Amino acid sequence: ENTLEQQAAGTEPAAPPRRLRNDSYLGAVTRDNVIVRAGLQNVLQVFMTQAANVFLATPSPVAPPGALSQQQLLEEQTDTCKRVLNIYRYMVMHVAMDANSWEQLLLVLLQITSLVLTKVPPKRKQETLGGFLAPALFQTLIVTWIKANLNVAVKPELWQSFMELLTRLTHWEDLIKEWAKTMETLTRVLARHVYSLDLTEAPAAGA
């Protein structure tokens, strides 16, 4: 009736107020228990995987005028990679991870180490990314492996990949040094917990 009266009076019906959001949007943000979350572990796995891309970057052989030199680019990449490794180490020591996250981190570190380090060390290490990163890579890989085994059961397939990788890289002096330090540390820990011996104490005079 109102419409007929308005037409008879020669007036237009009042337009409904313009809505800023449609029903689907309003329902999505107000409906209970329908919040979509990726989850912390999934976020960690995505981060550790995507962050590894900085290790794979290669500079263009043809640099535009005024661009950084190859050595400067290498130093910049090295610094970025070391920052990523520091984040990985922080995650290993301070972030609670489930079995899938530990496995993903181990896979990422195995892949990075395999791609960055050649079987035979370069003669001029300061001209390659692997030469710069070898000590930090080996330390991060081995420490992560130990911590992972203290928290979850690492699959035999990963152990096999770990053994094959380190066997292939035994020409790297950095690996031998890091492995020796690791064995020394584990021996001290074992002696302290099993035999109550502190191997860091100096022997008594005349003993």
- SS3 readout for 63-101: CCCCCCCHHHHHHHHHHHHHHHHHHHHHHHHHCCCCHHH
pLDDT of residue 29: 47
Question: Given this model, what pLDDT does residue 34 score?
Answer: 46
Looking at residue 14, its pLDDT comes to 56
Amino acid at the residue 109: L
In the numeric block, the tokens 């950084």 are attached to: 68
Q: Which residues contact 56 (CB under 8 A, 6 or more apart)?
A: 115
How does pLDDT run across 121-174, given as a tens digit for each residue?
Answer: 888 888 899 999 999 999 999 999 999 999 999 999 999 999 999 999 999 999
pLDDT at residue number 33:
47
Low-confidence ranges of the chain (pLDDT < 70): 1-37, 59-67, 202-207
Q: From 160, 151, 169, 164, select the one nearest 99 (Cα to Cα).
A: 151
Q: Could you tell me how far CA 167 lies from the centroid of its own chain?
A: 24
pTM of the entire structure?
Answer: 0.74
At residue 199, the pLDDT reads 82
Question: What is the full DSSP assignment across 167-198?
Answer: HHTTT-HHHHHHHHHHHHHHHHHHHHHHH---
Is residue 121 classed as helix, strand or coil in its secondary structure? coil
Find, among 89, 80, 168, 66, the residue nearest to 129 by Cα. Answer: 80
* Torsion from C-alpha of 132, 133, 139, 142, nearest 10 degrees: -140
Which residue in this structure is represented by tokens 């070898």?
Answer: 134
Report pLDDT for 113. Answer: 96
Sign for the CA dihedral angle at 15, 16, 20, 25 comes to negative
d(CA 168, CA 175): 11
Coil, strand or helix at 20: coil
Per-residue pLDDT, 37: 64
